[in-house]
Amino acid sequence: MKLANGAEYIESLRRLSPKIYYKGKRIKDVTRHPATAPHVRSAAMTYALANKEKYKDLATAASHLTGRTISRFTHVHQNIGDLIGKIKLLRLLGQKTGTCFQRCVGLDGINAVYSVAYEIDQKHGTGYLERFKAWLIHIQDENRMVVGAMTDPKGDRSKSPADQPDPDQYVHVVERRKDGVVIRGAKLHMTGAVNSHDILVMPTTALDERSKNYAIVCAMPIDTPGVTLIFGRQAGDDRRDHRERIDVGKPRFGVVGGEAVIAFEDVFVPNERIFMNGETDHTGTLVYRFAAHHRANYGACKTGLMDVLTGAVSYLAQIQGTAQGSHIKDKVTEMIHLSETLYSSSIACSAEGNPTPSGAYLVDTMLANVCKQNVTRFHFEVARLATDIAGGFLATMPSEYDLKSEDVGHLVKKYFVGVSTIPVEDRIKIGRLIEALTGGTAMVESMHGAGSPQAQRIMIFREGKLGEKIRLAKKLAGIPQ
């Protein structure tokens, strides 16, 4: 792998020239800007672990295309072990960063496109998979970070892409040339976009023949002409802008994933980077497989965050002298129970995975949707228990400016003391960490990342095999089939 560690990854970003805006101004260096640098460091952890002997087996894999050692985040799953290895890696990274490390969407896109490109070729006689393999080998050998770009603005959601008053509400082809296509539109909520090397564009929904121009899968470097990124605001970002340390909660790493809008303004994509072009009959399968892979992830990465939150609130209880209370122990026990239950969902859908016709493995889609549905409940319940244990202190902490003030610092240290052997500064630091893990963007992402709760419920009902369950019941009741 060309980019072998976190430092090399960060340096590689400085050689790019993407068009990125934040709060109305252009960012020239995402590795140094206070709004984006924490997200760069989070993603860098995926490179750092691959370089450590202790974690190498989890963080790397052998490419089925070249046999070379590659990052697991660029690997096409070849067996159950690969699916489970990914889950274990994601929990570990969640524990190490306490946030989103941003490479999952690209990984899930790679796996979905690989299997679907094979099936398009089989049905239509196209050559998409060989193109995709050539691109993927480049991504693997260079160890490039890929942002999976799926979610469109959608405009009027009561209308299909072809019926939108503004056709740009979904990414679409506006011109076809002999050597490629020109696309226009946007993708929203793109995790890790500003610190990725490449974009993998995919349709966001199943499409009909009227929407052929929207059935486009393609890839391009992040600094391709016509690509503009707008970095989203996050809870507490002004604290980062002012270089505060204690009050941001996690001074080294980001709040969630550093989401951005990616706008495509007449972007040219050459043929060798096009992996679907009008084959609407395969768009539903692509979205379905991508969503299953991505929903399986949440029971792992979010469990890692919940591990950190459980540790943080347990330490705060020690500081406040309440750790031995039976009600505190009971709530912490419930936090651990919910975390492990959620993790077991990720392991289960991976262990029940099966190969697609291409040979690439896919998780059990029913269990993946159950996993993500549990995330929308369990993570919030763990956060509720954490804020219950922490108490009102969590909402009324003085700022680090007050803590360090010559005028009132002594009052903060006097009246925010807990157990006398632990500094007040530690109590405020751990309180801010809990605040960062339970508020704002972090919880919204748990609810709506990888699709809203209703999207999972639709899939759970669709895959519930109700007909089979009815037959089982009728047979036991002695009712003729």
Task: Kindly give, in sequence order, each residue whose CB lies less than 8 Å from that of residue 98, ignoring residues fewer than 6 positions away.
Answer: 250, 253, 304, 305, 308, 433, 436, 437
* Coil, helix or strand at residue 253: coil
Sheet with 227-231: list strands edge to edge: 25-27, 19-22, 227-231, 259-270, 180-191, 172-177
Q: Is 12 helix (H, G, I), strand (E, B) or coil?
A: helix
Which residues are known to be catalytic? 100, 104, 191, 259, 294, 298, 301, 445
Looking from the CA of 110 toward its CB, the CA atoms found within 13 Å total 27
Contact (Cβ atoms closer than 8 angstroms) between residue 2 and residue 74: no
3-state secondary structure of 131: helix
Q: How far apart are CA 37 and CA 42, in angstroms?
A: 9
Transcribe 206-248 into DSSP letters: ---GGGGGG-EEEEEETT-TTEEEEEPP-TTHHHHHTT-SSTT
**Coil vs helix vs strand at 268:** strand
* Tokens, residue 315: 């330490």
Q: DSSP letters along 370-414, please?
A: HHHHHHHHHHHHHHHHHHHHH-THHHHPPPHHHHT-TTTHHHHHH
- If DSSP codes are grouped into helix, strand and coil, which group holds residue 278? coil
